[in-house]
Structure 1
Amino acid sequence: MRSVLIVEDHPAVREALAETFFGWGYSVTAAGTIEDAAVEVGRGIFGLVLTDVDLGGVACVEWIRSLGISHPDVALIVMSGRFGAKDIFADGFESSGRRRYLKKPFLLSQLQAVVAELES
């Protein structure tokens, strides 16, 4: 079964994403903080991590970057509703393998297209 870790601090958004991925056939683990996400990554292997970038400033960005280095085979989707957030990852983030940025708000069809692209 495909597995996803969803890292989102807004409970309603986290739950909606979890339900969506479950409906798409994923085993879903959800975390509301970077600290909880780090624990979950230590516990298991995920094929996909979907994370908000606005979870704690520099610590969040560093965690995302370190995740990409320590788990290069994990597909990673970074999402944010903050204007200019993509610039944080301007250093070739999306060109470094299975990494994508998704601007909030997004349609589920957009998310599904990005997931399909990363899985191909």
Structure 2
Amino acid sequence: MLRPILSASVRVHALLSYAPTNRLLAWLRRRDRLKFGIPFMLLGLAYWMATILLAAWIQSGAPAALNLLVLLTFWNSAKFITFDPYSLLALTVARTREAVARRRAVKRERQDVADKTPVPIAT
């Protein structure tokens, strides 16, 4: 029983990795693009508004099949809204690591210069 469930979950995961919003989030997770976290959170808010408008439209008599679209827009809004704190945290960690690496490089460079400096001999 566990094997078919696991197999289905792996196939669904593989299929959803090609979804446009998942590809966009994977593109944004690179170091040079983490700074775009806040603007893309606004995209999440746009998805949230679409969810609200679709739900209101369904309540006023639209086809019930649109509930799948409501679910999809809600899920995408949640992904983009939660990406913002992640991107800020990842950007802070990356900048801290880069600053530490720069300080270590400067320290190593100073040590190399100090090692190459000839020591005067007292006579």
Smaller-chain TM-score range?
under 0.3
Of structures 1 and 2, the one with the larger relative CO (CA 8 A, separation 6+) is: 2
Higher strand fraction: Structure 1 or Structure 2?
A: 1
* Higher Rg: 2
TM-score, length basis structure 1: 0.25
TM-score, length basis structure 2: 0.25
